[in-house]
Amino acid sequence: MSSGKSIAVLGGGSWATAIVKMLLNNADKVHWWMRNQDAVNHIKEFHHNPNYLSSVAFEEGKIEVSTDLKAIIEAADTIVLVIPSAFIHTTFEPLDKNIFDNKTVFSAVKGIVPELHSIAARYLHKEYKVHYDRIGIICGPCHAEEVALEKLSYLTIACMDEDRANEMANQLACRYIKTSTTEDVFGTEISAVYKNVVAIACGIYHGLGYGDNFQAVLISNAIREIERFVDAVSPVHRDVKSSAYLGDLLVTGYSQFSRNRTFGNMLGKGYSVKFAQLEMSMIAEGYYAAKSILEMNKKVNVDIPIATAVFRVLYEKVSPSLEMKILADELT
Amino acid sequence: MSSGKSIAVLGGGSWATAIVKMLLNNADKVHWWMRNQDAVNHIKEFHHNPNYLSSVAFEEGKIEVSTDLKAIIEAADTIVLVIPSAFIHTTFEPLDKNIFDNKTVFSAVKGIVPELHSIAARYLHKEYKVHYDRIGIICGPCHAEEVALEKLSYLTIACMDEDRANEMANQLACRYIKTSTTEDVFGTEISAVYKNVVAIACGIYHGLGYGDNFQAVLISNAIREIERFVDAVSPVHRDVKSSAYLGDLLVTGYSQFSRNRTFGNMLGKGYSVKFAQLEMSMIAEGYYAAKSILEMNKKVNVDIPIATAVFRVLYEKVSPSLEMKILADELT
């Protein structure tokens, strides 16, 4: 079921690797950019990513992998962006501003571009004049690790252009991936970003010794906080109990795979923010997201106690045990 | 902070034991009924329940424990009912129909009285003419095991009479228990019952090898199914994302303590319903609830695919792997 259009994936991490795997169920070829030349060489020779999901084998001739960002983007009509949000701006800066002209860009980033306090969709629109009809989001709930294991998973594809949403949904769907679509580009991406901040809170509380009863209350409060914030930032009709919002929050908040939760857990156990960051080889997206959400909230000014508490722990050196006790008193 | 009123707890299981522990933080005395004479003797001599939460010590003179149901009920103004729902009818049958006159009864049962396909609140109203103003519900999310460990937990107390709700909320609140109140007696209890059916589904899928990505989608679909059902049965304004609904679902669906999830897990791994029931010494409330929910749905006729699939596995001997695959296709 190839669409005839060519597709490129930008990024070399576990989620990028999982997306390449999914796309190859339907696409004849995927163009794949990653920064790391050693990884590119390894993939060319051994047909798997040496650093992430290395059990996933890629059929020879079906991937075109390179460190040449410009060439990879130019080779494709549809671009899937899976670069950690903190690196997007510096990665794209050398490119021509018109490089995405007439291309459709799907973000699977789930993070905020810190330089602009913008979700990737808005960043692409503002910086590269990509029309919102040509910007989409690939949302979970979906751990890359379970895609590698071909465990049944559901993705939601958001795009204001229904045809483009359906096209990407069809490209990703396969035996173990079910897809659905929505027009809610802002809501799904902001919610996906926000859940990483919540996952840090889950981790901190877990590290402090709070139990499962409390985690359930935290998540119940978190989805209401996300709803308040997203409805204020982008007031369209949505049901945050859907998989793309609540499901995505659950899979991250309850997961031991989540780097954000792991990061929070270290803070709860008494490690400093600096030390916890150095210990982790992956980026905890929620670290940047907490700051950007508070920044975005200056405009809409809704009650966001969980994000505020995480921000204070991360940026204002407030003691996690104290801050989280104050937050717990606000939950219902 | 004793209210001056006397209180009785009916039931000898782990949740009953946890509730006695919580109440004793504020009450001078709790009257406690349980069926098992050996357990009563043990508690009188050693001051802890030999069968459940046995780490919890009860101060001598603060509990009046007995197997005499009539005497315990008559000694109290407020009754907390924590008997497994399958045994309520046979336990209460020998009692006078006016035994609850002028008493307030809080149900912490979270199950359906199978003889009448009724939640406990409706059963008390129909069979014992307890006015709905005098019927309340004690809702989680709350594992008894974490109460024993004094982990911070949140309870919601539902009663149409606000004063009675507040009174019970104050009686249960303590250092490690926070309480809030609602008027939604039917919604909270039906939701608490329904989550046990969902927990069986979570267990079956886990037993079949489905992963965390799928569980998140299942829970996201489940809370929407619960909302549809509860709104149809009792159409009042409620937010099912609140702790009493979503939180309660989460703590059960994600818990390894949950007997309903464990029961489902055995079915998913290939045990028969009979065998799984014999293996478990505790009652899986969701077994009866699945049947009663389908019975109740004959009146309101909403789309409840998760409860229907669980019912088919439990009562119609449909293969779990087949039934759950069909259900997965319906989820979004």
- Active-site residue, selected from the candidate residues B195, B269, B298, B299: B195
How far does the CA of residue A41 sit from the closest CA of chain B (Å)?
A: 32
pLDDT digits (tens, 9 = 90+) for A231-244: 999 999 999 999 99
User: What pLDDT does residue A282 have?
Assistant: 65
pLDDT at A272 over 90: yes
Q: Tell me how crowded residue A99 is: count the other CB atoms within 10 A of its CB.
A: 15
Nearest residue in B to A255, CA atom: B212
User: What pLDDT does residue A4 have?
Assistant: 58
Partner-chain contact B216 A152, CB within 8 Å: no
Instruction: Kindly state whether B154 is in contact with chain A, defined as any CB-CB distance less than 8 angstroms.
Output: yes
User: What pLDDT does residue A278 have?
Assistant: 86
How far does the CA of residue A327 sit from the closest CA of chain B (Å)?
A: 13
* A224 chain-B contacts, CB cut-off 8 A: 239, 241-242
- Mark whether A103 is an active-site residue: no
ipTM for the predicted complex comes to: 0.94
Question: DSSP code of B182?
Answer: E
**Is A212:B251 a contact under the CB 8 Å cutoff?**
yes
Q: In terms of Cα–Cα distance, which of A291, A298, A281 is closest to A112?
A: A291
Share of chain B above pLDDT 70, in %: 98
Instruction: Kindly state whether A97 is in contact with chain B, defined as any CB-CB distance less than 8 angstroms.
Output: no
User: What pLDDT does residue B4 have?
Assistant: 58
* B143 chain-A contacts, CB cut-off 8 A: 211-213
pLDDT at A90 over 60: yes
| Least CB–CB distance from A214: residue in B153, B213, B246 | B153
Token pair listed for A59: 């059929």
> What CA–CA distance (Å, rounded) separates A328 from A211?
13
* A331 chain-B contacts, CB cut-off 8 A: 154, 178, 243
Counting beta carbons within 10 angstroms of the beta carbon of residue B18, is it exposed (0 to 12), middle (13 to 18) or buried (19 or more)?
buried
User: Where do the DSSP E strands lie in chain A?
Assistant: 7-10, 30-33, 63-66, 78-81, 104-107, 112-113, 118-119, 135-139, 153-159, 177-182
Instruction: Kindly state whether B142 is in contact with chain A, defined as any CB-CB distance less than 8 angstroms.
Output: yes
Partner-chain contact B151 A215, CB within 8 Å: no
Phi-psi region of A138 (alpha: psi -120 to 50; beta: other; left: phi over 0): beta
Selected for mutation to probe chain B from A213, A226, A250, A254 (highest B CB count within 10 Å) is: A213
Average pLDDT of span B271-286: 85
Partner-chain contact B332 A242, CB within 8 Å: yes
Confidence bin at A213 (pLDDT 50/70/90): very high
pLDDT at A308 over 60: yes
pLDDT at A1 over 50: no
**Is B38:B187 a contact under the CB 8 Å cutoff?**
no
Average pLDDT of span A124-147: 95
User: What pLDDT does residue A132 have?
Assistant: 95
Partner-chain contact A154 B214, CB within 8 Å: yes
Counting beta carbons within 10 angstroms of the beta carbon of residue A229, is it exposed (0 to 12), middle (13 to 18) or buried (19 or more)?
buried
pLDDT at B2 over 70: no
Instruction: Kindly state whether B221 is in contact with chain A, defined as any CB-CB distance less than 8 angstroms.
Output: yes
* B212 chain-A contacts, CB cut-off 8 A: 143, 146, 251, 254-255, 257
pLDDT at B3 over 50: no
- Active-site residue, selected from the candidate residues A44, A195, A241, A291: A195
Higher pLDDT, A284 or B171: B171
pLDDT at B1 over 50: no
pLDDT at B274 over 80: yes
**Is B253:A253 a contact under the CB 8 Å cutoff?**
no
Locate tokens 């507040």: which residue? B166
Average pLDDT of span A21-50: 96
- Alpha-carbon distance values, A226 to A195, A312, B274 (Å): 8, 18, 43
Q: Is pTM beyond 0.90 here?
A: yes
User: What pLDDT does residue B225 have?
Assistant: 98
Nearest residue in A to B253, CA atom: A216
Helix, strand, or coil (residue A85): helix
Higher pLDDT, B277 or A179: A179
How far does the CA of residue A136 sit from the closest CA of chain B (Å)?
A: 19
pLDDT digits (tens, 9 = 90+) for B282-300: 668 899 999 999 999 999 9
User: What pLDDT does residue B26 have?
Assistant: 94
Average pLDDT of span B159-182: 97
Token pair listed for B82: 């924590």
Backbone angles phi, psi at B258, to 5 degrees: -65, 120
Token pair listed for A260: 């954000």
Average pLDDT of span A112-136: 92
Partner-chain contact B243 A217, CB within 8 Å: yes
**Is B69:B36 a contact under the CB 8 Å cutoff?**
no
Backbone angles phi, psi at B37, to 5 degrees: -65, -35
Average pLDDT of span A302-326: 97
| Least CB–CB distance from A211: residue in B151, B213, B243 | B151
Q: Pairing relation of β-strands B78-81 and B7-10? A: parallel
Instruction: Kindly state whether A188 is in contact with chain B, defined as any CB-CB distance less than 8 angstroms.
Output: no
Instruction: Kindly state whether A210 is in contact with chain B, defined as any CB-CB distance less than 8 angstroms.
Output: yes
pLDDT at B76 over 50: yes
Instruction: Kindly state whether B150 is in contact with chain A, defined as any CB-CB distance less than 8 angstroms.
Output: no
Q: What residues contact A45, with CB distance under 8 A and at least 6 apart? A: none
For A144, the enclosing helix (H) or strand (E) is: helix A144-148
The secondary structure of B263-305 as a DSSP string is: HHHHHHTT--HHHHHHH-SS--HHHHHHHHHHHHHHHH----H
How far does the CA of residue B218 sit from the closest CA of chain A (Å)?
A: 8
